[in-house]
Amino acid sequence: MLVRRTRDILSSEITPREHFLNRRDFMRGAAGVGAAALGADRLADLVSPHAAVLADSTKLQTVPGKLTTTGEQLTPLEDITHYNNFYEFGVDKGDPARNAGGLPTRPWTVKVEGKVKKPLTFDIDALLKLRPLEERVYRFRCVEAWSMVIPWVGYSLSEFIQQCDPLPSAKYVQFLSYYNSKVEKWSSESTIFWPYSEGLRMDEAMNPLTLLTFGMYGEVLPNQDGAPVRVVVPWKYGFKSAKSIVTVKFVDKQPNTTWNDMAPNEYGFYSNVNPQVDHPRWSQKTERRIGLPFYAQRKETLMFNGYSDQVASMYAGMNLKKYY
């Protein structure tokens, strides 16, 4: 059983974010010197300028989560915030940290449309107060065969869906991300269909593991990681976890999704982590764990990213090579 009570990993056991910011420069600059011996000014000098995106972060009050992944080393915050896929702000892994500072995260609203009793609009601060925020550690697996272990903050998406009051005819949930090409340093990539769209089957969206996410490491999400609100679906490849959500739409048919529309032979609608179904251009049998020493990075990929006990029943009888 890979998902257990949060008491197996206490918040006090998670290394604070400041200990991870610009870890490599810190170690070079502090060789032979304990962190406590560094003055505040010197410590600030060691922090990467790209971490400015985090400067306005605020602490989030959390309660112990009911679901969390145990027994794996957390990925340093520096890596989580500097190795990203967020194509709105560039296609290289370091681009989002450099370019996402202009993303306007306040004011922010999320519209609810489609097969619901009545359309709704939620203010981001109201969403933050809708349910107690939980801290959950999840494995996060990218389709490009790299992975992380991240302490997210949020609550089950099902709690939000219940507030939306969807109709019985709603079979899928579609997520639309923020789109505004006038935002400073917005990507000039014109081959992507904007706004970014993702979707889940209703039972997937209602699964307790699916997280409506507002933060990580006990603070609000950095812009480059999908601020101010995203979803995290830990048994699917990372692109299914839509970032910077502005619209949630309940629909009766499978919605169009960005990568499935652009390259359906490479990116299926379901995109469950499956080591037996390779990407056309690389194997999915192993992955590279970001943040670990080079010799320890290579890991065997687990079916459903290791969450089979919680999600496999939703796909019973499905041909997972056809519905990849």
Is the CA virtual torsion 239, 224, 215, 113 positive or negative? Answer: negative
Mean pLDDT over 18-32 rounds to: 37
Integer Cα distance of 166 and 183 in angstroms: 33
Burial (Cβ within 10 Å: 0-12, 13-18, ≥19) of residue 191:
exposed
Integer Cα distance of 110 and 173 in angstroms: 14
Domain positions in the chain are 3-315
pLDDT in tens, 103-123: 999 999 999 999 999 999 999
Task: Identify any residues that bridge with 110 across adjacent strands, giving them in sequence order.
Answer: 122
Residues 275, 281, 282, 288, Cα dihedral to 10°: -110
Integer Cα distance of 177 and 188 in angstroms: 17
pLDDT in tens, 57-105: 489 999 988 899 988 999 999 999 999 999 999 999 999 999 999 999 9
Tokens 């009570």 correspond to what residue?
5
Mean pLDDT over 287-297 rounds to: 97
Q: Which amino acid is at 222?
A: P
Tokens 């993303």 correspond to what residue?
103
**Residue 138 in 3-state DSSP?**
strand
- Whether 160 contacts 212, CB under 8 Å: yes
pLDDT in tens, 208-247: 999 999 999 999 999 999 999 999 999 999 999 999 999 9
Tell me how crowded residue 58 is: count the other CB atoms within 10 A of its CB.
7
The string of DSSP letters for 201-230 reads EHHHHHSTT-EEEEEETTEEPPGGGT-S-E
Alpha carbon 313 to its chain's center: 23
Assign domain 3-315 to a CATH class.
alpha beta
